[in-house]
A and B are shown apart, each in its own frame.
Chain A
């Protein structure tokens, strides 16, 4: 059980770091310029 909790926390930190890194790289503005497809 402890192992599962530790793995979950590590994964949370991992994805949290990737999210923060993406935001600092300006991904937010790239997303807004998607353009739309019909």
Chain B
């Protein structure tokens, strides 16, 4: 019985996992990374409904081909069924895509309009982006290794650094 359950779980898992070489669709916007890491450099921004092809997997990550570029996305961001993109209104995009010349870097036009009306500064938002960009995937790897931060199953008995 247990074996049957295990087989059933394996089957469900296999069906849920994005298949190699087949089309998959983004079910939410995400940032494809250079490495399978939250701190990986952003290779390309993908949006809901974009079609990708899965090339490789690594843990909870999958390497995909999208818009002619390769990058890593969370497997959870993909769907095996076609996903329709959000409707967009002409003229409403990000400042990076528009010709508004907004001072804010890559912010949505809606944000810039809102901030201007309410006299809010977007400087802090830009600073947050800069903080994030200052962190590279190797830096995060070193940080995690130095602290011996690992899930219970992978935790080593060695350095008690994490317990200090």
Partners in one complex: no
Residues of B within 8 A of A (CB): none
- Taking Cβ atoms with an 8 Å cutoff, the residues of A that contact B are none
